[in-house]
Amino acid sequence: MPIARKSQSEIELMQEAGRILAITHHELAKEVKPGMSTRDIDTLGETIIRDYGCIPSFLNYCGYPASICVSVNDEVVHGIPSDKRIIQDGDIVSLDAGVIYKGYHSDAARTLIVGTVSEEAKRLVEVTRQSFFEGIRYARPGYHISDIGRAIQGYVESNGFSVVRDLVGHGVGRRLHEKPDIPNFADRKKGPRIKPGMTLAIEPMVNAGEYDVVWLEDDWTVVTEDGSLSAHYENTILVTNDEPVILSRAEGIEL
Ligand code: MF3
Ligand code: CO
């Protein structure tokens, strides 16, 4: 199967999915506080998603047992919400969520700062966010998929952090994960040529220490091997003939 290129009507549905997802992240960011459990965050997120008439795309995806991936501090991605895991002042909390609107997916992640965090944590979160914007500059015709990751990696490493190698971004649309894979590092393969109509989830995962990660016994939670902090930032975007368009955004809400 070739890489899907979306029609105007498909793009409109993905835009609406993305708008609702951006609102979901915004609402969660306002609510996350010390004392809350990671399961509370998931429950709230699922309620918001359903209130907007969407389906949480992660719930039961390959057996994943929640709607929001909540990954705290050294957890990189895919943390499983739990009543026992309580958010503390000083934590960084990565929230990854996906919604389905009329059969179309949007996928986005944000890393929240809770209370007073270290200078390093603040810088990590900001560098991770900015690395997405460095990468998206190459999401346009004339470039290859690997150009995105090369830009992300260059920016992250010039800031003294490292980019996770074992997980990648992806196409998104009819399904949560479509072709192509989008590494956040300079892969040896150039990857496909970027074409208008492609919808991509670009999602740098950045560690304060080394890039190595390990999976916990729950088979989901990915943590840094060296115990260093990790941050995640992701948007669903559309490639056009000129500037790429961020689909997972809503008017008046900061990216
Ligand atoms: N946003 C995640 C990704 O693209 C999807 C999480 S899969 C789940 O990798 F199963 F955890 F939901
Ligand atoms: Co994703």
Residue nearest to atom 7 of ligand 1 (CA): 58
Q: Which atom of ligand 1 is nearest to the CA of 203?
A: 4
pLDDT at 49: 98
Residue 1 reports pLDDT greater than 90: no
pLDDT at 127: 99
1 lines ligand 1 (CB under 6 A): no
Residue nearest to atom 2 of ligand 1 (CA): 96
pLDDT at 144: 98
Cα 211 from Cα 117, distance rounded (Å): 22
pTM greater than the 0.95 cutoff: yes
Q: In the predicted model, what is the mean pLDDT of residues 85-105?
A: 98
In order, the DSSP letters of 116-164 are S--HHHHHHHHHHHHHHHHHHTT-STTSBHHHHHHHHHHHHHHTT-EE-
Number of H helices and E strands in the chain, helices first, is 4, 15
Residue 130 reports pLDDT greater than 80: yes
Q: Which pLDDT tens digit goes with each residue over 154-180?
A: 999 999 999 999 999 999 999 999 999
Cα 125 from Cα 29, distance rounded (Å): 14
Sheet of 205-207, strands arranged across: 162-163, 205-207, 230-232
Give the chain's mean pLDDT.
98
61 lines ligand 1 (CB under 6 A): yes
Is residue 72 within 8 A of residue 91, CB to CB? The reply is yes
Q: In the predicted model, what is the mean pLDDT of residues 221-228?
A: 98
Percent of the chain whose pLDDT exceeds 70: 100
How far, in Å, from the CA of 169 to the mean position of ligand 2?
Answer: 6
Is residue 237 within 8 A of residue 245, CB to CB? The reply is yes
Residue 21 binned pLDDT confidence (cut-offs 50, 70, 90):
very high
Q: In the predicted model, what is the mean pLDDT of residues 125-134?
A: 99
